[in-house]
Amino acid sequence: MANKAKFQAIRGTRDLLPPETALWNRVEQTAHAVFATYGYGEIRPPILEQKELFSRSIGAETDVVAKEMYIFGDPRLTRLERLRGTVKAEGATFWPSDVNSVDLFSMAVGKFVTALDELLNAEESESYDREQFVRRSVDLNQELAKFAQLASQGLPSEFQPQLTKSKERVETILGFFELGESLALRPEATASVCRAYIEHNMQQLPQPVKLYYMGPMFRRERPQKGRYRQFYQIGAEILGGPDAPAIDAELIEMLMTFFAKLGLEGATLDINSIGHAADNCRRGYVAKLREELIKVKDKLGADSQRRIETNPLRVLDSKLEHEQAIIATLPRIADHLCDECKAHYAAVKHDLDLRGVAYHENWRLVRGLDYYMRTTFEITARGLGSQNAVCGGGRYDGLVELLGGPPTKGIGFAIGEDRLILSLQESGKGAAPQGRDVYIAWMGEKTYATAIRAAKSLRDAGFSVELPPVEQKFGKALERASKLGARHALILGENEVASGEWTLKTLGDGSQQKLAEQALLEYLQKL
């Protein structure tokens, strides 16, 4: 018997199903509509990017990049990697006086060279450095020719040391090829948006450029409620132009408007300023923070102790009960901002007041990376347990430059759509099962053509219609209609077709009326 093992969605991923997908659509349609009113255009970057884009932007040592990214190689490079493995194996047992061993080694290298030629003759690829590969391929071919020349001498003992040397040089050259994992499923999209801004010379457009995106992101985290390995984000970025506080405030206003339009309850906005990476600002603060942390080191947990050295700001993220009282006594960044950053923060708050956006100041809201600066914010929502952050955002004026673009101001946010949906469902804003406006109960073969016409004109008018594919008995049809949550049953028997007066039954109260086709449409439209 065939293997009938059942397939399941892989851990941390899930199927989004009706009726829930109707809520997803509502959320996304609302985002399109609200963001458009603020002048944002949609960008759809690819889900696959060079791994390097994320190690550079998010930071190679962060958990997201070091532990959670889904990375893989270009299959053609993986093939070369395998062939290189064979060369290595033959190299390990190489014996310069043994014809068989010498042959096996040169055959293994030959296979690698052939595959490499195929790769270089094929379509261009971003997953390897072509120029470098071409140069190394020339070196490799030269060395391999030398090896073959020596081997063809019949392996006399005086040539054997040279042959071994040549074999080693071949191995060294092979070792230079970078064949490893170079592609990644995006763990977030800000880096992609910045890459696209640079790639498409968007600095030539009127500044700032306002973009938003929505789509799946991938992180290999431990799955739990509100935390998935494939999850969805809706995000927006403002790139270029000035760093006027009004830009930060308007972005946040848009976000809160979006949440309000969705009816999200209990959304709380926390804001902070983390200054900029300078000695008279954040760096000075971090030094001071480290000093104070060293004094209380013994009272902290292992993670925080480690972070005193690696990234003291992250100690402030700690959720450990026993660390809370200690953290409350630590120096606060607001007292260490430079004058410009202090003024910027005050202006952002003032602007939020003008816009009627309520916020809490949260001095513990920080980001660990250098290019983050000034405004940071986070929104938490109800009904999510410990994973209650639905949105994180902040200013990142150094990022575009870090990725090879011109100096460019930037600010943005990312909403966790899965969590947003969960919170809406918890507060009873979930989607109802999709009903039907009309169920067409047709009986008798002669009525079928009329049933098809009725379904078409009702659907053209925008009604949701169920047209059973086979004839049903009257009772059975009504039973199915109510199971599907239909509001009306259109009863088409031979009498109705002959007279042109159709019977419409309202399933809620059981009432019935006779209507001609046009009158029926008008009646339903009025409801």
Binding footprint of ligand AMP on the chain (CB under 6 A): 188, 219, 221, 226-228, 231, 233, 389-392, 414, 416, 418-419
Q: For residues 23 and 451, which CB has a smaller minimum distance to ligand AMP in the complex?
A: 23
Q: For residues 14 and 480, which CB has a smaller minimum distance to ligand AMP in the complex?
A: 14
Q: Tokens 């190690």 correspond to what residue?
A: 55
Work out whether the CA dihedral 490, 496, 498, 501 comes out positive or negative: negative
Q: For residues 268 and 305, which CB has a smaller minimum distance to ligand AMP in the complex?
A: 268
Q: Which of 86, 45, 47 is nearest to 70 (CA)?
A: 47
Q: For residues 78 and 425, which CB has a smaller minimum distance to ligand AMP in the complex?
A: 425
Rounded-to-integer distance, Cα 110 and Cα 520, Å: 79
Rounded-to-integer distance, Cα 40 and Cα 59, Å: 28
DSSP string for residues in 229-282: SEEEEEEEEEESS---HHHHHHHHHHHHHHHHHHT--S-EEEEEE---SSTTTH
Q: Provide the minimum distance between the beta carbon of 227 and ligand AMP in the complex, in angstroms, as a whole number.
A: 4
Q: For residues 233 and 375, which CB has a smaller minimum distance to ligand AMP in the complex?
A: 233
Q: Provide the minimum distance between the beta carbon of 67 and ligand AMP in the complex, in angstroms, as a whole number.
A: 12
Question: 472 near 480, Cβ under 8 Å?
Answer: yes
Question: 404 near 294, Cβ under 8 Å?
Answer: no
Q: For residues 62 and 162, which CB has a smaller minimum distance to ligand AMP in the complex?
A: 62
Segment (H or E) for 378:
strand 373-380
Question: 507 near 482, Cβ under 8 Å?
Answer: yes
What's the 3-state SS for 117-138? HHHHHCCCCCCCCHHHHHHHHH
Chain position whose Cβ is nearest to ligand AMP: 416
Which residue blocks in 263-384 are alpha helix, DSSP H? 282-295, 302-310, 324-328, 339-354
Q: Provide the minimum distance between the beta carbon of 392 and ligand AMP in the complex, in angstroms, as a whole number.
A: 4
Rounded-to-integer distance, Cα 493 and Cα 45, Å: 54
Question: 413 near 255, Cβ under 8 Å?
Answer: yes
Question: 112 near 84, Cβ under 8 Å?
Answer: yes
Q: For residues 109 and 239, which CB has a smaller minimum distance to ligand AMP in the complex?
A: 239
Residue 327: burial class (beta carbons within 10 Å; 0-12, 13-18, 19+) = middle
Beta-strand relationship, 41-42 and 209-218: parallel
DSSP string for residues in 46-104: -SEEEHHHHIIIIITTSHHHHTS--EE--HHHHHHHHHHHHHHHHHHT--TT-HHHHHH
DSSP state of 483: H
Q: For residues 77 and 373, which CB has a smaller minimum distance to ligand AMP in the complex?
A: 373
**Three-class SS of residue 31?**
helix
Q: Tokens 């159709």 correspond to what residue?
A: 502
Q: For residues 414 and 440, which CB has a smaller minimum distance to ligand AMP in the complex?
A: 414
Question: 379 near 268, Cβ under 8 Å?
Answer: yes
Q: Provide the minimum distance between the beta carbon of 53 and ligand AMP in the complex, in angstroms, as a whole number.
A: 15
Q: Provide the minimum distance between the beta carbon of 422 and ligand AMP in the complex, in angstroms, as a whole number.
A: 9
Q: Provide the minimum distance between the beta carbon of 238 and ligand AMP in the complex, in angstroms, as a whole number.
A: 17
Q: Provide the minimum distance between the beta carbon of 265 and ligand AMP in the complex, in angstroms, as a whole number.
A: 16
Q: Provide the minimum distance between the beta carbon of 247 and ligand AMP in the complex, in angstroms, as a whole number.
A: 19
**Angle made by CA atoms 245, 247, 253, in degrees to the nearest 5:** 105
Q: For residues 275 and 393, which CB has a smaller minimum distance to ligand AMP in the complex?
A: 393
Can you read off the two tokens belonging to residue 250? 């308007």
DSSP state of 433: P
